[in-house]
Structure 1
Amino acid sequence: MTSTSQSPRKIVDVIASTGFGGFFFDDQAAIKAGSRRDGATYEGTTLTPGYKSVREPAESVSVMLVLDDGYIATGDCASVQYSGVGGREPRFHKTELAETIETQLGPLLYGLEVDTFRTAAEKAESAVNGIDGLGRAAAYGVSQALLDAASHAAGHHLMARIISEEWNLHGDLSVIPVYAQTGEDRYDNVDKMILKSVPVIPHGLINTLELVGPDGSVLESYVSWIRERVQQLSVQSSYLPVIHLDVYGMIGVAAGGSIPGTAEILQRLQKAAAPHKLRIEHPIHAGTRDEQIQVMTSLRAELKVQGIDVEIIADEWANTAEDIHLFAAAGAADLVQIKTPDLGSIHHTVDAILDCQAHGIGTVLGGTCAETDRSARTTAHIGIATGVTQMLAKPGMGVDEGLMIVNNEMNRALRVDKRLKDIEKSS
């Protein structure tokens, strides 16, 4: 099914509306410095520029591109929960962002042809980069809308097909294992994941030393509990989820920054997780991108020498396509977390995924709990088109909502693609 129009579709208007993100923006530096939880909020003074309080409601801006046939293509500007740290851009403020998009960016996009996504995305990104007050969050939202527009112009409304065709990906669209996150409800939310047979669990939000323990024993107990809980609750005897924990560098902290010490803790976690595959995200922290690559490369080598079968995942400092390329080229991780808002325009996300795959590195197509339903659905199309290793259930921290949004969009797209292929074969 392709468009019968003889002329390319063009943008005739740009509209922006403000909204919520799926969770909160948190000042990570303040939290690491000792800000304490008080119910759903945090006490203490902010440390990261752009924050007025340690925890603030996540914000979003919907970008609506009005095309010359009346179709309105949409995408959502979003930023990660921990904006402004680890080399990331500061958090944005929705009212100012929406106004700038409408008054300054919009006129630059009028008349832009949208039939070819990559070309349109590159031109739009160039326009975004030339305007003060815009950044990757704006490019992220605009590019989602452009992918929507291109799939409309093609006549099939299947964003995954646009990606597959424009990047010359010859494989079929495929089911991707979904990865859910518990937030701070680290026990009841694991139960939800097991009952719904989520393939990769539980993230765990292991963001303080107390959750690891000075020698790793607290985290080891938690991993053992997850393994036992799967055995207790699983309704499928074949269910053996990957255990993936994001530890925010805290295992390295518990080991006093020692690479052999970090490896020793990982070895105990591996034994506690068996027979589950274990993946640890950001096991040890360094202060710059280059230092992070070096320390992760050294840790990965140490694990190999000792025969410790734990996959480590790069996250902090792997923010842009260039950053991700350097991690992948150095072999600094088994997988890279590709946080979609950090890369800005989503054509960079596709490029980063394919770059990792070319280097034999796995890909976690992630993002953040602070995104929106719209950005999550777009991400699902990227995942099934590129065949990533796993894909984050987002937004939010409640498990159910993010799992529903991503899983259902993936299944819809795969079913539509199959029907389109059946129609094409019979025509």
Structure 2
Amino acid sequence: MEITGIHATPGYSGFFFDDQRAIKRGAQQDGFTYEGDPVTDGFDEIRQAGETIIVDIELADGTVVRGDCAAVQYSGAGGRDPLFQAAEYAPVIEGPVADELEGRDATDFLDNAEALENMQVDVRGSGASSSQPDANASGAGDRLHTAIRYGVSQALLAAAAEAENTTRTDVLADALGTEPATEPVPVFGQSGDDRYNNTEKMFVKGVPVLPHALINSVEKIGEDGEVLLEYVEWLVERSQELGPEGYEPRFHIDVYGMIGEIFAAPYDREEVVDYFAALEAAAAPYPIQIEGPMDAGNRADQIDAMVELREGLAEAGVGVDIVADEWCNTFEDVQAFVDAEAADLVQVKTPDLGGIHRSGQAVRYCEGTETRAYLGGTCNETETSARACAHVALATDAAQVLAKPGMGFDEGYMIVENEMRRTIARREREQLTPDTDTDEVTADD
């Protein structure tokens, strides 16, 4: 079935863009916002409204399918693409992207997604009002912003599923050469700053991986790490009080490099390993994994620092897993962290990889290694992109998948968990043969 039209509508995402560098430098919160001036290019405020572009693809039979462009909360940090501004990029989608994709067969998902991934566009001028995007026939120009590749590829995935009358999970599985999961992938809930109330909600619902906790300042971790240790002890106590019978959670804390910060002067590996041992003891009897223990400022140094930490933990017999996030953005970054055995898990941060099939390929790259794949993303996505990622999780049977968008927890968990459950149920119904859907007993029974 032919793609006959592509349309772009600026809209809002599920959270906000935050200038991570300004926050790490000590910007103080003023209610929900932050005081002070931004330091990352493109930001007008330290915290500003998240944006999306709603991408509609029309098919020859009149069907319209959708994908949403999204960029991470901390855009422009850790080697990521710059701040995503919808008004500036919408003309790119309705111009050169539409020119490239209109007339293509919607069932050719992988070919269409790769064509999008490899596009280069010359954007002349600057700012939303003066940008004039044109396809550059010579192939010179800039690669499309990751958010564009992410959103348009979601719509291409939905178009292929619609044209083939199948699930997006099956389209991805065919493209990636995988056997989809038959049970929902464990969902990772994120609490935001409301790390007590939202986490108690997760316990009541029996969320398998939690709570993220947003430990992004010295105040939240403690000058010697004591605040985080107290929080982990609280997690164990409340999980046992509120969780369902037989509940065995896995704790996952994102510290945004703060462990490296508090032990930076001077950095003492033995002291850091001792702190991880204390975290493991506080979390017992449940496993714990720490995301982004340090931020070394570039990929090579980040890999070296995490390899050194993993070796120290292994030598000391400390069973805390570490998770790569900062400087692990692109498919090539994922490969580098996995090849170096720099992490127990790598976050496949879906908006940062561009095309949604690239996230699936990154999860697959972890197969057969000692590194597990966490299919992540950002609170700053939409319900459309979250549902699309649920299909990536099922198609690749990832180790865990993020509940998103937003920081309220309940909504994101409902969206991702229910999308996986309804897809599994549909696939099971479609795989039933007429003979298995009857109570008839034959003479041979």
Shorter-chain TM-score tier: over 0.9
Instruction: For residue 327 of structure 1, give the secondary structure of its aligned residue in structure 2.
Output: helix
AA of the residue aligned to 1:76: D
Distance, in Å, in 2 between the alignment partners of 1:425 and 1:210 is 63
Greater Cα radius of gyration, structure 1 or 2:
2
Note closer, same or farther for the CA distance 1:124–1:54 as it changes in structure 2 (3 Å cut): same
Which residue of 1 is the match for residue 386 of structure 2? Answer: 376
Q: TM-score, normalised by structure 1?
A: 0.95
Structure 2 unpaired stretches of 5+ = 124-132, 134-143, 438-445
Of the three residues 3, 11, 14, the one matched with 1:19 is 11
User: Residue 319 in 1 paired to residue 329 in 2?
Assistant: yes
Instruction: For residue 25 of structure 1, give the secondary structure of its aligned residue in structure 2.
Output: strand
Distance, in Å, in 1 between the alignment partners of 2:112 and 2:92 is 20
Query: Which portions of structure 1, spanning 4 or more consecutive aligned residues, are displaced by more than 6 angstroms?
Result: 424-427
Stretch deviating more after TM superposition (51-60 or 212-221)? 212-221
Which residue of 1 is the match for residue 255 of structure 2? Answer: 247
User: Residue 116 in 1 paired to residue 116 in 2?
Assistant: no
Distance, in Å, in 2 between the alignment partners of 1:72 and 1:83 is 30
What is the Cα deviation at residue 233 of structure 1?
Answer: 1.5
Aligned ranges for residues 15-414 of structure 1 at < 5 Å? 15-127=7-119, 129-132=120-123, 134-156=144-166, 158-170=167-179, 172-234=181-243, 236-256=244-264, 257-414=267-424
What is the Cα deviation at residue 99 of structure 1?
Answer: 2.3
Maintained 8 Å contact 2:348/2:376: yes
Note closer, same or farther for the CA distance 1:38–1:172 as it changes in structure 2 (3 Å cut): closer
Instruction: For residue 290 of structure 2, give the secondary structure of its aligned residue in structure 1.
Output: strand
Distance, in Å, in 1 between the alignment partners of 2:183 and 2:326 is 28
Maintained 8 Å contact 1:60/1:94: yes
Maintained 8 Å contact 2:58/2:65: yes
AA of the residue aligned to 2:291: E
Maintained 8 Å contact 1:117/1:150: yes
What is the Cα deviation at residue 232 of structure 1?
Answer: 1.7
Maintained 8 Å contact 2:215/2:253: yes
Identical aligned residues as a percent: 45
AA of the residue aligned to 2:272: T
Maintained 8 Å contact 2:96/2:121: no
Residue deviations 1:315-337 (CA, integer Å, cap 9, x gap): 00000000000100110000001
Maintained 8 Å contact 2:42/2:82: yes
Which residue of 2 is the match for residue 6 of structure 1? Answer: none
Q: Number of paired residues?
A: 416
What is the Cα deviation at residue 260 of structure 1?
Answer: 2.3
Maintained 8 Å contact 1:75/1:375: yes
Instruction: For residue 269 of structure 1, give the secondary structure of its aligned residue in structure 2.
Output: helix
Structure 1 unpaired stretches of 5+ = 1-8
What is the Cα deviation at residue 33 of structure 1?
Answer: 1.2
Instruction: For residue 118 of structure 2, give the secondary structure of its aligned residue in structure 1.
Output: helix
Maintained 8 Å contact 2:65/2:155: yes
Residue deviations 1:345-403 (CA, integer Å, cap 9, x gap): 11111111000123231111000000000000000000011011111000000011100
Distance, in Å, in 1 between the alignment partners of 2:334 and 2:178 is 20
Distance, in Å, in 1 between the alignment partners of 2:279 and 2:434 is 50
Maintained 8 Å contact 2:181/2:396: no
Residue deviations 1:21-78 (CA, integer Å, cap 9, x gap): 1100000011111211011111101100010000001000011111111111210000
AA of the residue aligned to 1:10: E
Maintained 8 Å contact 1:173/1:385: no
Distance, in Å, in 2 between the alignment partners of 1:30 and 1:167 is 39
What is the Cα deviation at residue 124 of structure 1?
Answer: 1.9
AA of the residue aligned to 1:116: D
Distance, in Å, in 1 between the alignment partners of 2:303 and 2:236 is 31
Maintained 8 Å contact 1:114/1:150: yes
Q: TM-score, normalised by structure 2?
A: 0.91
Instruction: For residue 22 of structure 1, give the secondary structure of its aligned residue in structure 2.
Output: strand
Note closer, same or farther for the CA distance 1:154–1:23 as it changes in structure 2 (3 Å cut): same
